[in-house]
Amino acid sequence: MNLSVRISSMKMKNPVMTASGTFGYGEEYSEFVDLNSLGAVVVKGISLKPREGNPPPRIWETPCGMLNSIGLQNVGLEEFLKFKLPFLRQFDTNVVVNILGETLEEYVQLCEALDKVVEAIELNLSCPNVKKGGILFSEDPEIFKKVIEESRKKIKHSVMIVKLSPMSDVKKFAKIAEQEGVDALSLINTIPAMAIDIHTRRPRLSNLVGGLSGPAIRPVGVKMVWDVFSTVGIPVIGMGGIITGEDAIEYILAGATAIAVGTANFVYPDATIRILNGIEKYMRLYNIEDINSLVGGLIWEG
């Protein structure tokens, strides 16, 4: 049975990755998950300088999901390279760094510093551009195109992944990314959402708005992966509410070459391994020799 897949030039022993921000820097989960058995570890979004993030409360549980407003807290590039990366390098797995910036220049500098150092760089563009009045990089096609174009120039060796926001026209933005030479796309990021305590009339999150993740968003993610898969030719990494191997297969049938596990890590600390076992079980059940034969395997007479 072949489980190995490729995201452009990045070879993975299986399609299971972790979703940025839900698996720390890998070390936090290494007691429960043999990191050698993962296709790739995607770390918490890194910025040039350490960031403090939003004040608490930062999370709120919703039906089959959760809101978070971590606000990009991270250790910063320097500490990541000095302490977090060496830990991950003890394992035989790919390291993908999710990056976030406040300005175009910050993305470009991060790409320059990380190129060749890690197997892949994932651009999280759902961040406010402080120089353009706080509009998200993922919101405006021109800004989106520009940041990708400039970052692409600096990424010469690593695989370049762009993470798409579910708030945009994903087909349109996927096409722009493909035209700018991006190697792969990942989606979906969390969906902006909010919750109110009706007794105090105050927001549940100190930041008012947070991102919805977990099983509640899975059908949205599956649809968007299908949309992107049927629009572009570059590989797609699917995520959003994957809890079981069956959920992962659903994304693969919708067109995902690899999948990422996010909120599920909070439900089961060994979620990634359970999902990997579930994928294998499905393949045995249907005598699937090669996982790649399932990618985009949705049957539909439309």
Partner 1 sequence: MSRHFRAEVLARESLTPRHVLLRLRPLENSLTPVPGQFYLLRVSQTLDPLLRRPFSIFSFEKEEISFLFIRKGRGTEILSNLRPSDQIEVFGPLGRGYPLPEQEATALVVAGGMGIASLFPLLKAIRKDTVLIYGAKTKSDILLKEQLNSLEYVKTIICTEDGTEGIKATVLEPLDDLLQRHTDKNITVYACGPDGMINAVKRMIDHYSLKGFFSLEERMACGLGACLGCVRKTQKGMKRVCREGPVFSGEEL
Ligand X SMILES: Cc1cc2nc3c(=O)[nH]c(=O)nc-3n(C[C@H](O)[C@H](O)[C@H](O)COP(=O)(O)O)c2cc1C
d(CA 152, CA 268): 36
DSSP string across 2-37: B--EEETTEEESSSEEEPTTSSTTSGGGTTTS-GGG
d(CA 103, CA 130): 6
d(CA 85, CA 90): 9
- Taking the complex as a whole, the smallest distance from the CB of residue 287 to ligand X amounts, in Å, to 29
| Beta strands 10-12 and 236-239, pairing class | unpaired
d(CA 99, CA 245): 28
Instruction: Name the binder of 31 from partner 1, ligand X, none, CB < 5-8 A by kind.
Output: partner 1
- Which member of 20, 98, 189, 265 binds partner 1 (CB under 8 A)? 265
Closest-CB residue for ligand X? 21
Longest dimension (CA), the chain: 56
- Taking the complex as a whole, the smallest distance from the CB of residue 159 to partner 1 amounts, in Å, to 24
How many residues in the shown chain lie near partner 1 by CB under 8 A? Answer: 34
Instruction: Name the binder of 28 from partner 1, ligand X, none, CB < 5-8 A by kind.
Output: partner 1
- As given in the structure block, the two tokens for residue 136 are 């998200």
- As given in the structure block, the two tokens for residue 68 are 């978070």
| Binding piece for partner 1, criterion CB under 8 A, among 52-60, 112-120, 252-260, 294-302 | 52-60
| Residues in contact with ligand X, shown as a per-residue x/- string from 221 to 260 under the rule CB under 6 A | ------------------xxxx------------------
Instruction: Name the binder of 98 from ligand X, partner 1, none, CB < 5-8 A by kind.
Output: ligand X
Strand order, beta sheet including 59-62: 59-62, 65-68, 210-213, 191-193
- Which member of 124, 138, 165, 207 binds ligand X (CB under 6 A)? 124
d(CA 225, CA 171): 10
d(CA 238, CA 180): 21
Instruction: Name the binder of 269 from partner 1, ligand X, none, CB < 5-8 A by kind.
Output: partner 1
Instruction: Name the binder of 152 from ligand X, partner 1, none, CB < 5-8 A by kind.
Output: none
Let me know if 127 is a catalytic residue: yes
The residue (of 70 and 288) whose beta carbon lies closer to ligand X is: 70
- As given in the structure block, the two tokens for residue 253 are 């049938």
| Residues in contact with partner 1, shown as a per-residue x/- string from 201 to 240 under the rule CB under 8 A | -------------xx-------------------------
- Phi, psi (degrees; rounded to nearest 5) at 198: -70, -20
| Binding piece for ligand X, criterion CB under 6 A, among 18-26, 29-37, 81-89, 270-278 | 18-26
For residue 37, count CB atoms less than 10 angstroms from its CB and return exposed for 0-12, middle for 13-18, buried for 19 or more. middle
Q: Which DSSP category does 83 fall into? A: I
Would you tell me which residues interact with ligand X (CB under 6 A)?
A: 19-22, 44-45, 68, 70, 98, 124, 163, 189-190, 213-214, 217, 239-242, 262-264
Would you tell me which residues interact with partner 1 (CB under 8 A)?
A: 21-24, 28-29, 31-32, 44, 52-53, 55-61, 63-66, 68, 70, 73, 214-215, 243, 263, 265-267, 269-270
Active site residues: 127
